[in-house]
Amino acid sequence: MASHTEPFVHPTAVVDEGAEIGNDSKIWHFCHVMGTARIGRGCSLGQNVFVAGKVVIGDRVRIQNNVSVYEGVILDDDVFVGPSVVFTNVHHPRIGFPRRDQYLETHVRKGATLGANCTIVCGNDVGEYALVAAGAVVTESVIPHAMVGGVPARQMGWACLCGTPLPREGATLKCPECQREYREGEDGLEHRSG
């Protein structure tokens, strides 16, 4: 049976009372986690990460340096958030016209990767095992396993469960790294069994 350790919180980090942090998680230098945030087990928050209240972060999520995760963001298990990724939570912010009641949900699904410095505009989902390229601006939802890039982000291909881009070879797409096989279906990429 695996042993579990209490979360590690660096002395320079601030974790407000009421925040839930799972076992084996690490909160590094100069982070701030607000009181109603929930962070799962085995997570890592790099230097200078901010997690707003009501944010939900699953298990084994890695958030690299200089990321602010605002209210309305949900990160499922096994998500990777690269350095300086930007999340938003309202479409038309104005100081003189608060819109806290208009926050839009952004849901990053299991196993997805968000590359360094990309922006995820609120109200969009990033599908399971999708891969968003560094510097991309996501303005619409990304389907599972899609590999997207550019401004605005557009699909450039498919990503394997292991994260490797899938080459197109006939009707079957085979991962050169892990050998998983897929085919394109009406609803996107389908794992091909046996």
Question: So what's the pLDDT on residue 108?
Answer: 98
| Residue 177: count of CB within 10 angstroms of its CB | 12
| Mean of pLDDT values over 127-137 | 97
How high is the pLDDT of residue 110? 98
Q: Is the dihedral of CA 183, 115, 62, 143 positive or negative?
A: negative
Q: Provide the pLDDT for residue 141.
A: 97
More reliable by pLDDT, 91 or 33? 33
Question: How many beta carbons lie within 10 A of that of residue 50, not counting itself?
Answer: 19
User: Does residue 164 register a pLDDT over 80?
Assistant: yes
- What integer pLDDT is reported at residue 59 of this predicted model? 98
2, pLDDT greater than 70: no
pLDDT band, very low/low/confident/very high, at 163 (cuts 50, 70, 90): very high
Whole-angstrom distance between the N-terminal and C-terminal Cα of the chain?
32
Average pLDDT across the chain, whole number: 94
Per-residue pLDDT at 1 exceeds 60 = no
Say yes or no to pLDDT of 3 above 80: no
pLDDT, average across residues 67-92: 96
- Please tell me the distance from the alpha carbon of residue 83 to that of residue 40, in angstroms, as a whole number: 20
Closest-CA residue to 88 (of 42, 130, 52, 35)? 52
The pLDDT value recorded for residue 171 is 77
Lowest mean pLDDT of 82-91, 98-107, 125-134, name the range: 98-107
Q: Is the pLDDT of residue 159 over 60?
A: yes
Q: How many helices (H) and strands (E) does the chain have?
A: 0, 25
Band the pLDDT of 95: cuts 50, 70, 90.
confident
More confident site: 171 or 51: 51
